[in-house]
Chain A
């Protein structure tokens, strides 16, 4: 098991975001974490990364409990939702800095050419467009060789060509035996890449299974409609 989450609770002030999430993520598959806005997707991901500290419950990543631990993050490549980078440094300085901090072998050159970022390497991050920042974000995530990859809204702002490259990249990492977690609101993208769907609703796991299981359960033929219908059919997973 790559990730095991038991009875995870998290509250922000009075707002109970996660209400007892139990989830196991197995090795070598692509999981899509879906759910309406504010259902707790990002909180769940940030809990796995140790950025959010849960009120209750346990998480272990690659069989190590993550509480009071930080070394396990070396096994995770994380793509944050909004590419918020320090504005005053250049793209290649940022890449160097992250490489230096992680101290792991990296393959950034192929990725830079894949996304056509060469002309931007000497530009400051504050001058880049949203889509270009996202490409930098993707390079920073995929340049390391970690067994677990977490992508929070990876498609934001990407042009069609970059989107195709991203999908190929995800499939390539899957064939390398990596486990990938994705959140996205683009159902077409999810349908293309994901093996398993985890549907969060109001801080609980409402459905977990493959796309076919989801279609059978909701009696729909189309994935997007199935997701939309998931809460109305009322069949609790």
Chain B
């Protein structure tokens, strides 16, 4: 698996898109720091951008990479390599190189600005960690979609729909259900509904660590009571881990059965 990982990783590192992605974060980091002049505020703004952008880029990159490397995959399948190693190697190659672009692209400007001396270092690391989680989750989901659909257009369509659903539609449905059932106690429902969507979960996780939950009012207090504690934090990380592992298992399962 490591050899496949190495080749996929190098292949991506050499590609133009990794640089574009890296430079985008680099620019974003510098601009935000100069405009805000405050690391904490920059982290909040960054969160709003990357919480939506990372899943989108992960999804599109994952689907594109899978379809573009189909020929190479077929070449590898006839070699003495375990099937799951081929797909795991490619998956970790894509997710790893995207996470690297994110961490380096945002890390460099913040380090230069003096992050180590500020007390926002924990918030910032949390941002990078959730960003990496989201990358792995959405690249995994897009690989599962791509391997299940021979038709490129369909695969692309489903992947973008999945992103749209989790990033936009889910929140809409969530809010609508809160309005519809406002007479009922909704604390547990909203907690569970938030935890089930990795994008929402990441957003809440970062927001609550930033100590701005007072802005969220009563709901914020309930969320703070759960997610703000160490237990809540660990549970959230565990849920993110489950979200990461599930697509990987799905990918292995699909890869085992597929005909090429």
A residues with a Cβ closer than 8 A to B are 12, 46, 49-53, 70-74, 76, 78, 80, 84-89, 97-98, 100-102
Contacts and interface: CB of A to CB of B under 8 A. Distances in A.
Contacts of A78: 78
Interface in B213-260: 257-260
Interface core residue of B80, B257, B258 (most chain A CB under 10 Å): B80
A80 B259 contact: no
B74 A80 contact: yes
A149 B258 CA distance: 24
A46 B260 contact: yes
B72 A51 contact: no
B81 interface: yes
A84 B74 contact: yes
A125 to B, nearest CB: 10
A46 B70 CA distance: 16
A49 B81 CA distance: 11
Contact of A84 (B4, B75, B258): B75
A108 to B, nearest CB: 15
Given A51-B259, A97-B7, A100-B3, A73 B74 contact: no
Interface in B7-31: 7, 11
B16 to A, nearest CB: 11
The 6 A-B pairs with the shortest beta carbon distances in the complex, nearest first, are: A84-B71, A74-B80, A73-B80, A86-B72, A78-B78, A52-B259
Contacts of B75: 80, 84-86, 98
A98 B82 CA distance: 15
A51 B77 contact: yes
Contacts of B70: 84
Interface string B102-127: 00000000000000000000000000
Contacts of B74: 51, 80, 84
B36 to A, nearest CB: 40
Contact of A49 (B69, B72, B78, B258): B78
Given A52-B259, A85-B71, A101 B76 contact: yes
Contact of B78 (A53, A80, A97): A80
B79 interface: yes
A101 B259 contact: no
Interface in B56-108: 69-72, 74-83
Contacts of B7: 97
A188 B171 CA distance: 67
A44 to B, nearest CB: 13
A70 B259 contact: no
A102 B77 contact: no
Nearest to A76: B78
A101 B260 CA distance: 20
B174 to A, nearest CB: 39
Nearest to B7: A97
17 contacts: A49-B77, A49-B78, A51-B78, A51-B259, A51-B260, A52-B259, A53-B258, A72-B80, A73-B79, A74-B80, A78-B78, A85-B71, A85-B72, A86-B11, A89-B11, A101-B76, A102-B80
A51 to B, nearest CB: 4
Given A84-B74, A100-B3, A101-B76, A52 B81 contact: no
B78 A101 contact: no
Chain B CB within 10 Å, residue with most, of A46, A73, A101:
A101
Contacts of B71: 84-87
Nearest to A79: B78
Given A98-B79, A101-B81, A86 B260 contact: no
Contacts of B69: 86
A86 to B, nearest CB: 4
Contacts of A53: 257-259
Given A51-B260, A84-B74, A97-B7, 10 more contacts: A46-B259, A49-B77, A51-B74, A53-B257, A73-B78, A80-B74, A84-B75, A85-B72, A85-B75, A102-B79
Interface string B23-66: 00000000000000000000000000000000000000000000
Most buried by A among B11, B70, B78, B257: B78
B82 A70 contact: yes
B80 A70 contact: yes
A74 B71 CA distance: 20
Contacts of A100: 3
Contacts of A46: 259-260
A73 to B, nearest CB: 4
Contacts of A97: 7
Contact of A12 (B11, B72, B83, B259): B259
